[in-house]
């Protein structure tokens, strides 16, 4: 791992296009670019409303953003504590293995600790072996008995009875 000067900072409104670019890169990495429906306007409405529904951290090396983490608060009734849900963590290919992802996770852990979160959670694609190994190296347990359930788009309206 290189000895880089990695700066982590909270995203600002001026970073909106940069964040959109990272979301697009992540969708391509995940193999779901065809499902990308995000727009800068929609992102602005959720990131920069009061209170924000979601937050973004940017990782910079030599003044250039090379990765991001998108996260929000959740809650555990079992712990009766807030939790931190990491929705996206992405580091550009040339910077992987250089400590950028670790720096983002450590910063997230500091946020979780300072807000009394009982846990941090996220999903990882089962085909992403390097990602799984990275997360395990950071101390994460990969839960085998939990599955993601999803209803999206028109399915929400159908379930709601519309």
Q: How many residues does the chain have?
A: 162
Rounded CA gap, 131 and 134, in Å?
5
Could you confirm whether 72 is annotated as catalytic? no
Residue among 84, 97, 85, 91 nearest 26 (CA): 91
Q: Which of 72, 75, 107, 135 is catalytic?
A: 135
Residue 122 carries which DSSP code? Answer: -
Task: Give 97's contacts (C-beta < 8 A, 6+ positions apart).
Answer: 1
CB 46 within 8 A of CB 53: yes
Write the burial class of residue 36 (CB in 10 Å: 0-12 exposed, 13-18 middle, 19+ buried).
Answer: middle
Q: Would you name the residues annotated as active-site residues?
A: 135
């Amino acid at each position: 791992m290189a000895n880089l000067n990695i700066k982590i900072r909270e995203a600002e409104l001026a970073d909106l296009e940069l964040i959109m670019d990272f979301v697009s890169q992540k969708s391509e990495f995940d193999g779901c670019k065809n499902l990308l429906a995000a727009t800068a306007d929609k992102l602005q409405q959720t990131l920069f409303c009061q209170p924000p529904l979601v937050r973004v951290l940017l990782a910079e090396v030599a003044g250039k953003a090379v990765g991001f983490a998108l996260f929000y608060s959740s809650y555990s009734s079992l712990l009766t504590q807030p939790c931190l849900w990491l929705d996206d963590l992405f580091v550009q290919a040339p910077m992987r293995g250089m400590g950028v992802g670790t720096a983002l996770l450590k910063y997230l852990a500091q946020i979780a600790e300072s807000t009394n979160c009982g846990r941090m959670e996220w999903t990882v694609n089962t085909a992403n072996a390097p990602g799984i190994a990275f997360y395990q190296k950071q101390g994460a347990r990969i839960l085998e008995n939990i599955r993601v359930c999803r209803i999206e788009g028109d399915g929400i309206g159908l379930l709601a009875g519309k």
